[in-house]
């Protein structure tokens, strides 16, 4: 049975009534197959003797003043059905005052320079807002292990940093879950629902860019050369407005000359901003 918990008091009572390892999947709702992959990974991790809790909370702290907080899809009934279908033990779906009570001081984090690059450059304050809610919710839910999709790779990287920064989360592990893709290659995202049929097709240039950059890195181009070609490809793709194509180290520092790295892409299709990324191996020039 899936319990629906709306308040911290209900959450605390439920936590007190359960035992075993607790896996927590944090979401903003609008659940899709990508979230279900996180839920399945959570169950696989803790088994039947553990518990899996999903949070559904659209976090105002991570939306800028001109962003889509009000329009962000809220589909609680459908979300709950997905949680039930995935054998989730409890869903914590609080309102804003439960998470951020005005009489409590909620810890804010300084996520460091990476928070101002890539997604952070376009969305000032976004990652500080993400870290604030992630820390808050993982503490409230007493998580032993939590699951983050590689789809939001920069978020995953900064959450890993949060875990090193916040001693109250020292006992909580982060598990990364690979990107889920539609059969045609588009990474699953809540925002895909905003795309028209034509835009949905145009958006395929994004995973194609990932594949192109991966191939060029494997062929011996440097990270910057491969990213440069990727930018050119995306820039000339119809209906797509390039934001960035970069190749970075796996920790999102400067890319190495040789070895494992990550390609990250952001682009707009119509008014919808889409993200994608993937692993690459930089072969480097033969000596
Ligand atoms: O990735 C998301 O959906 C959100 O950023 C998260 C981690 C649930 C925090 O609100």
What are the tens digits of pLDDT across the range 39-48?
999 999 999 9
Residue 205 lies in a domain: yes
Verify that 47 and 157 share a domain, yes or no.
Answer: yes
Is the CB–ligand 1 distance for residue 134 below 6 Å?
A: yes
Name the region of 213 (left: φ>0; alpha: ψ -120 to 50; beta: rest): alpha
For residues 151 and 211, membership in a common domain is answered with no
Query: How far, in Å, from the CA of 215 to the mean position of ligand 1?
Result: 31
- Is any ligand 1 atom within 6 A of the Cβ of residue 152? yes
Task: Decide: 26 in ligand 1 pocket, CB within 6 A.
Answer: yes
Q: What are phi and psi of 72, to 5 degrees?
A: -55, 130
Please tell me if the CB atom of residue 158 comes closer than 6 angstroms to any atom of ligand 1.
Answer: no
Q: Do 238 and 134 lie in a common domain?
A: no
Residue whose Cα lies nearest atom 1 of ligand 1: it is 27
Domain holding 35, by residue range, is 3-177
Q: Kindly state if the Cβ of 143 falls inside 6 Å of ligand 1.
A: no
In a domain, 266, yes or no: yes
- With the most atoms of ligand 1 within 8 angstroms of its CB, the residue from 35, 134, 135, 153 to mutate is 134
In a domain, 14, yes or no: yes
Q: Is residue 82 domain-resident? A: yes
Considering only CA atoms, which residue is closest to atom 8 of ligand 1?
27
28 lines ligand 1 (CB under 6 A): yes
Q: What is the band of 97 on the pLDDT scale with cuts at 50, 70, 90?
A: very high
User: Which pLDDT does position 286 carry in this prediction?
Assistant: 59
Q: Half-sphere exposure (CA, 13 Å, Cβ side) for 49?
A: 2
Query: How far, in Å, from the CA of 213 to the mean position of ligand 1?
Result: 27
Residue after which a domain boundary falls, among 147, 177, 207 = 177
pLDDT of residue 71: 86
CATH number at residue 211: 3.30.1300.10
The confidence band for 119, taking pLDDT boundaries of 50, 70 and 90, is very high
Q: CA-CA distances (angstroms) from residue 37 to 51, 128, 177, 194?
A: 16, 26, 8, 22
- Tokens at residue 7, please? 């308040």
Catalogue the active-site residues: 35
Both 210 and 154 in one domain: the answer is: no
Same domain, 68 and 152: yes
Task: Tell me the range of 58-67, 185-194, 263-272 where mean pLDDT is highest.
Answer: 263-272
Give residue 169's pLDDT band: very low, low, confident or very high (50, 70, 90). Answer: very high
Our mutation pick for probing the ligand 1 site, out of 61, 150, 152, counting the most ligand atoms within 8 A of Cβ, is: 152
pLDDT score at 190:
81
Looking at 143, 177, 211, the residue that finishes a domain is 177
In this predicted structure, the answer to whether residue 176 has a pLDDT above a threshold of 60 is: yes
Distance of CA 156 from the midpoint of ligand 1 (Å): 10
| Tens digits of residue pLDDT in 123-160 | 899 999 999 999 999 999 999 999 999 999 999 999 99
Closest protein CA for atom 9 of ligand 1: 130
Whether 115 is in a domain gets the answer yes
**Is 198 in the same domain as 145?**
no
pLDDT at 104 over 90: yes
Confidence grade of residue 66 (pLDDT, cut at 50, 70, 90): confident
CA–CA separation, 94 vs 195, rounded Å? 29
Rounded to the nearest angstrom, the gap between the alpha carbon of residue 235 and the centroid of all alpha carbons in its chain is: 25
Does the C-beta of 208 come closer than 6 Å to ligand 1? no
Regarding whether 170 and 32 lie in a shared domain, the answer is: yes
pTM for this model (two decimals):
0.95
Which H helix or E strand runs over 139?
helix 126-140
66 or 118, greater pLDDT: 118
């Amino acid at each position: 049975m899936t319990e629906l918990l709306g308040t911290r008091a209900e959450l605390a009572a439920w936590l007190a009534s359960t035992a075993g390892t607790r896996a927590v999947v944090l979401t903003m709702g609008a659940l899709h197959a990508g979230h279900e992959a996180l839920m399945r990974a959570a169950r696989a991790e803790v088994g039947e003797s553990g518990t899996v809790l999903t949070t559904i909370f659209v976090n105002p702290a991570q939306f800028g003043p001109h962003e889509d907080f009000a329009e962000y899809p809220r589909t609680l009934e459908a979300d709950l059905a997905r949680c039930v279908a995935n054998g989730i033990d409890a869903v914590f779906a609080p309102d804003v005052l439960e998470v951020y009570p005005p009489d409590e001081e909620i810890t804010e984090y300084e996520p460091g320079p990476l928070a101002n690059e890539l997604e952070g450059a376009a969305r000032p304050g976004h990652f500080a807002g993400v870290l604030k809610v992630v820390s808050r919710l993982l503490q409230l839910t007493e998580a032993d292990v939590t699951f983050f999709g590689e789809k939001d790779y920069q978020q995953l990287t900064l959450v890993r940093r949060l875990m090193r920064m916040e001693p109250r989360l020292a006992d909580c592990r982060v598990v990364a879950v690979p990107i889920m893709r539609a059969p045609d290659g588009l990474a699953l995202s809540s925002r895909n629902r905003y795309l028209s049929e034509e835009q949905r097709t145009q958006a395929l240039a994004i995973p194609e860019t990932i594949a192109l950059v991966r191939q060029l890195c494997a062929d011996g181009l440097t990270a910057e050369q491969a990213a440069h070609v990727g930018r050119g490809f995306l820039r000339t793709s119809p209906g797509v407005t390039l934001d960035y194509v970069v190749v970075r180290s796996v920790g999102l520092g400067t890319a190495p000359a040789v070895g494992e790295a990550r390609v990250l892409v952001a682009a707009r299709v119509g008014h919808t901003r889409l993200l994608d990324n993937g692993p690459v191996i930089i072969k480097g020039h033969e000596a």
